[in-house]
Structure 1
């Protein structure tokens, strides 16, 4: 599946496979005040900021039950003089803590998850119906292009795949054609379920799912009719580069018609779960884009940003500040084990590192470069 690049894209390729989507998108710094990333408290954010960060992650990934439990159990209760609980006003930047806003986001997240599961299980027509019902702007040709934010204190992630409704609709139709060509069922298991759990298997689309197909046609004739419609849609694309890209893709996809068992043919790559996942990811990003929500959680975006920043500092051979300049409790992952002793719990502590460095004579003249950011070391390092 492919979607034409509308501008410079990190996913743009000169050759296309069944599981890549060479479409536009850039990561950029954008602006809007966000309390989750306060610039004046980089090392000791207040508990509510961390709470919002976790809630954003749970809501973004549609972990509704976990999000509700966390919101309830992490709330700080305020009591009046009589010992009765009072409601604290929702401050600017804390809108997610508002019950109505919170439940609305969870509800939309559940719908996103339902659509994603339908696509991953090969039920493309059902997913399209649900998409048009609850998120009509995603596939509407009248949908406006939303302007990108341009602030300096908030990070946003621009979708890396096209959000153009025409591209999305055509990609869904191509996937529906692939699923209709399937002769070997491809079951989908929900995350966390065991293989013994009954999988979700899509019914092979029949004539009732293609109302434009003439009555009495065989399955092969209906598929041929679908392919002709796809070519017609691709030829109606206004951009010449878009037309060329999609026609090239359709030339490969339509080859599925030449094999009685396409799963064993040279174009079997189109029949893999990765193909479904690529489309599901693109549709989910488009939904979030139309809702005005980031296409990735804040904590994931912060991790990516930190990784890129530390890698750049490392490649530029930037020296880390002397230990005396470090905030209390701050520690960095070390490449030299001798300079990173473990504390009583077996985990490296910032104070232990500082003492070890001073003992080893690590001063401003012998500081080593900023290391690359290691997420696993960061998570295992402890407070």
Structure 2
């Protein structure tokens, strides 16, 4: 394929993406929004329905992750890690709704409080089972420390003022949302390059191709005013269209 044919293909794909591509973009955005809004279970449902490979057990090599102090924010496409990261986040978000965001006027009854604590403890038990299933001791150790941290939320009357308050940080939503988005793109065989960088590349490609096709020069000849002011850019070209 010649350079011009490649550029032409990029332009057409950028300007006229296939319908299924648009649908996948919409689904990815919905998954991301659910995570950023703290609706983790809704995000998991969408992933299982439309991107099952993201959370499906596989033989993904352990090298796909970078264990560390903030494992939830690490770079990984391993389904076992992603599943754990989402479900740990679901635990902290359930705790947040029950004990942080709730107002005094909407305080829980003792019975509701008991049920919530029982639900959170059951979630912790299930998370421990998932951690025990990890194949590598280093991974198990990292996640066990993570679970000890989030379990500590139950030990403090004022979790936001406690040593484990960082587990309630909304930055964790951002980290997991980005991680899941990258994993979706990876499983779909797409580039995980940040969208801004891709858009910049496409813009330069489009400008190059338009220049080769002499479209920009034709526009300037038709409207001499476009020669005035800043140089003609792709943004100005789009704005000039009816």
Structure 2 length normalisation: TM-score?
Answer: 0.65
Q: Which of 232, 236, 244 is 2:141 aligned to?
A: 244
Q: Is 1:177–2:91 an aligned residue pair? A: yes
The 2-side partners of 1:260 and 1:298 are apart by: 42
Q: Which of 77, 82, 106 is 1:163 aligned to?
A: 77
Structure 2 CA distance for partners of 1:222 and 1:245, relative to 1, 3 Å: same
The 2-side partners of 1:237 and 1:47 are apart by: 45
Q: Does 1 or 2 have the higher relative contact order (CA < 8 Å, sep 6+)?
A: 2
Q: Is 1:51–2:11 an aligned residue pair? A: yes
Structure 1 unaligned spans of 5+? 1-32, 56-69, 72-95, 97-101, 146-159, 187-215, 305-342, 350-377
The 1-side partners of 2:43 and 2:26 are apart by: 13
CA shift, 1:130, in A, is 1.3
> Residues 178 and 271 of structure 1 are in contact (CA less than 8 Å); yes or no, is this contact kept in structure 2?
yes
CA shift, 1:184, in A, is 2.9
CA shift, 1:261, in A, is 3.5
The 2-side partners of 1:291 and 1:46 are apart by: 21
Which secondary structure state, in structure 2, belongs to the residue aligned with residue 294 of structure 1?
coil
The 2-side partners of 1:175 and 1:298 are apart by: 25
Q: Which of 18, 23, 26 is 1:107 aligned to?
A: 23
Counterpart in the other structure of 1:329: none
Q: Is 1:289–2:195 an aligned residue pair? A: no
Structure 2 unaligned spans of 5+? 62-73, 103-112, 202-226, 236-242
Counterpart in the other structure of 1:266: 163
The 2-side partners of 1:112 and 1:255 are apart by: 32
Count of aligned pairs: 186
Give the aligned CA root-mean-square deviation in angstroms. 3.4
The 2-side partners of 1:260 and 1:120 are apart by: 26
- The 5-angstrom pairing of residues 125-144 of structure 1 reads 125-142=41-58
More helix by share: 2
The 2-side partners of 1:52 and 1:142 are apart by: 35
Structure 2 CA distance for partners of 1:50 and 1:170, relative to 1, 3 Å: closer
Counterpart in the other structure of 2:37: 121
Q: Is 1:222–2:119 an aligned residue pair? A: yes
Which secondary structure state, in structure 2, belongs to the residue aligned with residue 218 of structure 1?
helix
Structure 1 length normalisation: TM-score?
Answer: 0.42
Counterpart in the other structure of 1:277: 174
Which secondary structure state, in structure 2, belongs to the residue aligned with residue 231 of structure 1?
helix
Counterpart in the other structure of 1:6: none
1:114-153 alpha-carbon deviations (Å, 9 max, x no partner): 11111111111111111111111111114778xxxxxxxx
The 1-side partners of 2:25 and 2:190 are apart by: 11
